[in-house]
Amino acid sequence: QVQLVQSGAEVKRPGASVRVSCKASGYSFTYYAIHWVRQAPGQSLEWMGWINAGNGKTRYSQKFQGRVTITRDTSASTVYMDLSSLRSEDTAVYYCAREQELDTGHFDYWGQGILVTVAS
């Protein structure tokens, strides 16, 4: 069965960086894209960017351009999301999600989500 398993919760200081991983299993990793979506406490969902796991092509929301980097390791079927220059407003649950079909943009499987807390 398809699974996306994310790394554990993180607590970071303002100005620091965080790396979140998303390990995929149960399907052909390189045939799909993985997106990152975050959700601040009590808020809606916010799209951050995506990676085509096959060719490594990425696209980021302008809001996070310059601060976010999404990469993948095909040998480990894992996608990574790095977010730098953290501020308190980045406190949120971060989800990875699989695009149901390449170049569609809706998500059929989600990771469990991990809470990143930014606090001094």
Which residues here bind another protein, judged by CB under 8 A? 35, 44-47, 59, 61-63, 95, 97, 100, 104-108, 110-113
Q: Which is nearer to another protein, 49 or 77 (CB)?
A: 49
Give the nearest distance from C-beta 46 to another protein in angstroms.
Answer: 7
Give the nearest distance from C-beta 71 to another protein in angstroms.
Answer: 19
What residues have CB less than 8 Å from 72, skipping those under 6 apart? 34, 51, 53, 56, 78, 79, 80
| Residue 44 DSSP label | -
Instruction: Return d(Cα 80, Cα 4) in angstroms, integer.
Output: 12
Q: Which is nearer to another protein, 55 or 74 (CB)?
A: 55
Give the nearest distance from C-beta 75 to another protein in angstroms.
Answer: 26
Q: Which is nearer to another protein, 13 or 106 (CB)?
A: 106
What are the beta bridge partners of residue 82?
19, 69
Q: Which is nearer to another protein, 16 or 23 (CB)?
A: 23
